[in-house]
Every structure is written in structure tokens, then in C-alpha cells.
Structure 1
Amino acid sequence: MNRSDTALFEIFTRQMIGLPLGHVWFGHGSAVFLEFGKLSPSKIKRREGSEGNPSGEYGVMIEWGWRLENGKSILCGCWSDEDEWQPSFEMLRNTTLAGASLTGRLPEIDLRFSNDVHCVSFMIARGDPQWAVFDRRGDKLQTLVSRKGRVEFERPSQRYKSKN
């Protein structure tokens, strides 16, 4: 990871700082999605007919390899019992995003909340760190990802293809 990666990440996430965490939801496996800012209803219906999860102005997805931590301990993580996830993320209710940064030689994401709890990615398998930051403001979705040790914008044609 180099300075230009850090600069791109900081520019992209700057407008997220101060936004409230509006919704947290879990995807397939241990994927976690954090939705920031004004929420919009889902355009997708679940198979049983209920509404899907709302989307924020910004979103962060950490596919797997994540943990919540405070200054003293790990509160829960992707390898914790799933029953611990929702209560741990409840600590983030009514918080705002206080900071977003990259850590490590390969770009891992560190989200700091106003209550000083951090949500951190950490990949433990072969390949790239599996996170994405979505900017849903405006007409076109912009997505920032980690790929081959760098931070870059995801082109729509890259979406849903092999990660390695």
C-alpha cells in the first residue's frame, strides 16, 4: 500500500465522516454491511415477499474477516457465535462515523465510531482483503475496493467476477 492508495481512500471517505450509522445487516456467511447517512428503502423484495435491507448514502461491506474492538478487547468477530453479532453491533446504535483509515501492508479498513468502537477488516485467507465502500449519492454507484495490494475503483465489469 502506498501514499496514493491512502490519499484516494481518504478523499473517497471524507464525506462519510460525521454521518450516522443508520443500519447494520448481515449477508451470506459472515458478511457485514454498514449503512451510513440517509436511508433509502430497498428496491429488492426477499423471496418470501418482505422488504430487503435499506441502503445508506454510503455503505461499507466487509465480506469476511472482521471484528469489533474497543480500546481494551475484541468485542466480537466473524468467528464469534452469530448470536453475539447483533448485540455487539447494537453498541453502534446512535453513533456516527468518527474516522476511516487503512492499516497494514495490504489495505485493511478501520472504521472508528463516535463511541470509540472500531470495526476492522482482516483477511486471513489467500487473496485480497474483502471490503468495499459504496457511494450511492448521485446517479452512478461508485465503489472503492482493495485489489492486488492496492486501493482502486471497481469497474462495473469487475463486479461479481472472481476475486483473485
Structure 2
Amino acid sequence: MNDPLSEAYDADVDTGAEGELEALRAERDDYRDRFMRALADAENSRKRSERDRREAENYGGSKLARDMLPVFDALKRALDAAGEEVRGAAPALIEGVELTQREILNVFSRHGVKAIAPQVGDRFDPQSHEAMFEAPVPGTVAGDIIQVMDDGFMLHDRLLRPAKVGVSSTPKS
């Protein structure tokens, strides 16, 4: 009953079947790994395209907004240059320029553009201000804004243009 040839054959079949089973398991694991990597790549692509879409929506108009800033600056300079004589002689013109400037600010606001309007006496912030000059001014300390030339602008959380300012270089007493 115990045939040595039969037992050797059964051992070979068991070893061969076990080897084939291990090869199939390894192949299965390889396919599972590939599938999981492909799934992760697809998820990363989805997230990347969603982020790109959001950025295009939020920042796609930055070039147009940047191109409109000189228009805002020109209107502001026109209003600053208009003395009392001009304001008295042409109040409708001044009102029209003011309304146009307000409308540009409203359009900017609807599209996420916010003005950075520093005041004289504020501290210089290199993240949002550009120093155009330094000068010693009595009664100030180094780093105080002493003059504002142009307002700056942010587009959502990105700097579109820094505010152009003059900064005090008076050392602390």
C-alpha cells in the first residue's frame, strides 16, 4: 500500500501546486499593487486638476487686473490734482471721476482684488510695500512710512502690486 513511487509523485504534485500557488499569489499582489498605484495616481490627478481649476478661477484675471491698475492710479491722481477751483468750476466732472473710480474698486472687489492703502505713520512691511526712497524725517523712527505714492493691491491672497511708499531712515533717539 505504501508505494514509494506514488508517494514521490504526490510530493512532486504538492510541491508543484504549491509553487504555482505562490506564483499566482505573487502575480495577484503585483496586480493589486499596480491597481492601488493607478488609483492613487487618478486621485492625485483629480486633486491637481481641481486645484488648477480653482487657481484659474481665482487668479486667471490677474493680468487684466494688473493692466487696470494704472487706470485706477490715473483717476486717483486726477482727483488729487483737482484743486478747489476745479472742484467749484466743474463739480459734475469731479463727481463723474469719483464715480468711475468707485466703480473700478467695486469691480475689483467682485473679483477678489483688494486695495492696500497704507497711511503715513504705519510701519513698513516688505511683504506688501515697496520702498521708493528713504529719508530722515524728524519725529519718526526708521521703518515708518512717511509718504504714500501709490496704493498696492492683493488678488485674493496674492500680492498683485505692492504699495509704493517712502520710508523714514531716522535712527531711534
TM-score range, shorter chain: under 0.3
Higher Cα radius of gyration: 2
Structure with more strand by fraction: 1
Structure with more helix by fraction: 2
Q: TM (normalized to structure 2)?
A: 0.24
User: Per chain length, whose mean CA-contact separation is higher, i.e. which structure has more relative contact order (CA < 8 Å, sep 6+)?
Assistant: 1
Q: TM (normalized to structure 1)?
A: 0.25
